[in-house]
Structure 1
């Protein structure tokens, strides 16, 4: 049995979703295709020579010229201009990372971990030191989440293997999660953001109805798994509090076991071992379990509000078969730049630039943003950017709007 080359498992998982947009194969190498699949392929891969080695077995055939193609309605001028924009970004060295920047991010996470332990060690395990420590650890966990995101997107080192190793360390040893689980889920989202049945982030398991088409579809079919007209209210009970400590935690552990992902499981166990060795002497085993879940409860609020403010308020629908640039702009919006907003969101306030250039180091997003705005202005595409508070409020507004659409369709259509 042939061993997969380094990074091949992640690459195969990614390619499955990248190639969903390919409908007319004109070459065995998508990066040379005239279709918009070129842009999706180029966005995710730093080392084209490496991934090109695995292309031929994936070629399942070629469409005859008279066969219908899903690319026919895509704007060729936008695709051409976007590729020129990417070339300009490459010429400006915007895909080159500042290693000191990422080292300092890691350092400040480790400093917070140390401060948390020292607080309990010095002040004891009373309520006030415990709550303070929980907030410090929740902050370090949130920041570790943003940092693993950078390495998962291969945006730090030129060599993919180096990114993979550090990614496993941060998401596994610092967070107790799985790199492969994250890759499999997150790159589906990037390939088809806000597309039902393709983006897992909008697969809400009937808990919420999102966008404008799904609420009406559910309403017409008289589907009522929950009272969706109140989803903007029960969001506070089932969204931010439960996503990480309940849903993600269960899904991550089960995924590693079912898929026999023993490497990621070992990394995750190293996190739990370290945590319980550190805090069991202060709280006991049961107390440490409660403490851990309280930390994740706090982190979950942070994670949900930041990740949803850029997507849930945008267009959510079935596949429209747009070009890469237009599809990312339709599904993402930005939050205004400030030192706090950059740190608080891990630079995901530049969600538009991140989705257009997933392998670009986050510290360069503000440099490419003017070029993206200019291209949007040229083609009349809306570039949405808003203050942080308004972005958070828009989450609730969008849920309320979708709930009203569902209720109206449920009662009257």
Structure 2
């Protein structure tokens, strides 16, 4: 429960707290508070940042109302820790928030879904999913062990299956690390370390640090790391602001502008290296100096288990290639094919989830309630046996963002209620097919390219 106020409690107005530049201003002053609103109470979380289990994601709601993001991602026990940083209340007459009725109804849905048992996972379902993935791994290993020395085709087939195995492990690690499967977070983290670290090669801490921030600020320019891919891929005109002060004669010489203008052509080649890039980022993140770029208080503790999980991944992966494939060209081919298949399969789904949907500014994000932000920036993909499997249930992207700890096998039960509520309040709920959604992604890339071209022609 939230902290009780006393007669001497300090009162704040919402205007005093809500400030898009609050974090930047406070960082320049070592004594300045990191204030946020949760359930109409004000907390200074500056001293809590180093101990926050979710890492630096907590910084995304400094100067904002963090009520719904807090309740969405934290167990009831988290209120006890939060109480240590309570500094006051929002004044009684200033407690109305924009879209309050819509947000209130989403909260009621969340409570109803809990009562209906939709947050309870099927252990048999996840046992089957893990077993299926291990079968893919075994099949890939068998093919390369049996025919890898003599058949280039066998190496390509084995590497392709391995790429699919990695993609599917990514979705399962996602489920376990979102604590969709086990209420005990120890087991969720342990399975996440195995499926994400040993199998997939992704650091759990790196993933949580990045992914939790994405959930807290989806498609918010300057805050969501998933759209911070400029100049390789540029998703909004916001990212083109860097060109506005560059003289026209220099503009044509910029490599970044060249990439933006031609990004639709480079889309699939870039995706081919996406998985390798994330693996490298993971390894760097768990090294002793891997978080040197972050403020000391925002660095995430890295366990020996996590470091060992990545070491085990690269040991079995490289060991498989050098043990069963003798031809150096085939070793290189196996590496490239496995990376490219997984990179494209992962990134195609990531792009469907949010790319091509509205990108909002920090100023807009401050004024928008948490749930509306999740919905208008997400894209659902029509369900089918293939789509549900291929995307790991993330074709229900809107439902996942609203209720991230709900197991994927229950999303189909709640989708009609979510869509109906959005229609009632006029909140855009976008759903499409996989091909149409991918075309929307390309259309958005083209729009940004044309905008960049116009900047180059302006005087």
Matched, 1:119 2:143: yes
2:116 aligns with 92
TM-score, length-normalised on structure 2?
Answer: 0.78
Match of 2:52 in 1: 12
d(CA) in 1 for partners of 2:430 and 2:50? 32
Let me know the Cα RMSD of the aligned residues.
2.6
1:21-53 per-position Cα deviation (integer Å, ceiling 9, x unaligned): 3647xxxxxxxxxxx5222112112x322x233
Q: Is 1:367 aligned with 2:398?
A: no
- 1:272 — aligned with what? 314
1:392 partnered with 2:438:
yes
Select which of 83, 88, 103 maps to 1:62.
88
Give the CA deviation at 1:10.
11
SS in structure 1 of the partner of residue 395 of structure 2: helix
CA contact (8 A) 1:241 1:300 kept: yes
Q: 2:342 aligns with which of 292, 299, 304?
A: 299
| Cα deviation, residue 369, structure 1 | 0.6
Q: Identify which range, 268-277 or 367-376, moves more after superposition.
A: 268-277
Gapped runs of 5+ residues in structure 1? Answer: 1-7, 25-35
Give, in angstroms, the shift of residue 269 of structure 1: 1.1
8 Å contact from structure 2 (residues 57, 209) kept in 1: no
Question: For 1:94-109, what aligned pairs fall within 5 Å after superposition?
Answer: 94-109=118-133
Instruction: Give the Å deviation of 1:381.
Output: 1.1
| Worse-superposed segment, 344-353 or 80-89 | 80-89
SS in 1 for 2:257: coil
Q: Deviations over 1:33-78 (max 9, x none)?
A: xxx5222112112x322x233213444x3366399x8x86621111
The structure-2 alpha-carbon separation of the partners of 1:10 and 1:140, relative to structure 1 and needing over 3 Å to count, comes to farther
Counterpart residue number, 1:138: 163
Match of 2:31 in 1: none
- The reply on whether 1:52 has 2:79 as its aligned counterpart is yes
**1:129 partnered with 2:129:** no
Match for 1:255 among 285, 301, 320? 285
Q: Structure 1 residue 211: deviation in Å?
A: 2.2
Deviations 1:250-300 (A, max 9, x none): 211111112565331111111222234434222259665653343122100
Secondary structure in 2 matching 1:382: coil
Matched residues in 2 for 1:177 and 1:96: separation?
A: 27
Report deviation, 1:235: 2.3
2:70 equivalent among 28, 41, 48: 41
Which sections of structure 2, spanning at least 5 residues, go unmatched?
A: 1-47, 291-301
Secondary structure of 1:54's counterpart equals helix
Shift of the 130–9 alpha-carbon distance from structure 1 to 2, 3 Å rule, reads farther
Structure with higher RCO (Cα < 8 A, 6+ apart): 1
Question: Which residue of structure 2 lines up, in the alignment, with residue 157 of structure 1?
Answer: 182
Secondary structure at the residue paired with 1:195? coil
TM-score (norm 1): 0.86
Q: Select the residue among 236, 258, 267 that pairs with 1:235.
A: 267
Q: 1:161: how far off?
A: 1.1
Structure 1 residue ranges (4+ consecutive) displaced by more than 6 angstroms after TM superposition: 8-11
